[in-house]
Amino acid sequence: MNRFLFYLTFAFALLAAPATRAQSTHSHGTERPIHFPDVPGYLTLKVDLHTHSVLSDGNVWPSIRVQEAIRDGLDAVSLTEHIEYRPHRDDIPFEDQNRSHEIATKAAGNSELIVIPGTEITRDMPPGHANAVFVKDPNLLLLDDFRAQFAEAHRQGAFTFWDHPDWTSQRKDGIARLDPVHLELIESGQLSGIEVVNSRTYSDEALQIALDHNLTIIGTSDVHGLIEWDYNMTPEGHRPVTLVFAEERTGESIHAALVARRTAVWYKNT
């Protein structure tokens, strides 16, 4: 099924059974679950691939990220701690970059939540920031050369996407655009997706880049504080999520769907 027909099918399914935040009997025991209909041949999984804890520059313990994800009825979450930026290092010293994922996985316990390993490559523009999810060992990405970092993530089989390409701290005009190095990474298969939504910001230009260069579209919370404070102040509030159309409810199927570009983004209830 080509990309246009796939999204057309999803749109019809969504019109037939729109997203809701009603009380659920889902086995997560959630209080504010997000519901989306499945589409023919695929499960619609709700995924947040960009979150932080105190083990980088977030303000909560990794287990809180898990509890929030379960409460929101997410199917999967990734704690993508910055490799290069750890402002809490003096207060919370640790060396193993896998630690956040380990704590989160333990916190998920016997729940149905899938905890996806991930990390954030944190560089000046270009190339800026990028998340490598399904990375096997983020410690091996502690490298001086960003090209070596992307190559190592690719070697590990990670799915790497460009974070907040319109972030005004790195694009003063707030407009996402490609630099030659981004084209280099895309053409080498080392950059496969792009955030069209990050936190409260949507970028038309990022979406156009995705369409022009066949990148997977991603939407994330990039939460550092509490989800409740940032996104759920009203009944209509919700975190941005990536809707992943997967064959099965497994990490492997999520990874395959990301590679196949079977995603959509839910943002501000649209």
Per-residue pLDDT tens over the stretch 118-175: 999 999 999 999 999 999 999 999 999 999 999 999 999 999 999 999 999 999 999 9
pTM above 0.85, yes or no: yes
Whether the pLDDT of residue 19 is over 70: the answer is: no
Confidence bin at 58 (pLDDT 50/70/90): very high
d(CA 96, CA 169): 29
Beta strand 129-133 pairing with 114-122:
antiparallel
Q: Which residue has the tokens 């804890």?
A: 53
Segments making up each domain of the chain, as ranges: 43-266
Looking at residue 23, what is its pLDDT? 39
- On average, the pLDDT of the chain sits at 91
Choose the CATH number for 43-266 among 3.40.50.300, 2.40.170.20, 3.30.360.10, 3.20.20.140: 3.20.20.140
Which amino acid is residue 120, in one-letter code? E
| 16 burial level (CB within 10 Å; 0-12, 13-18, 19+) | exposed
Number of DSSP helices (H) and strands (E) in the chain, helices first: 8, 10
Whether the pLDDT of residue 15 is over 80: the answer is: no
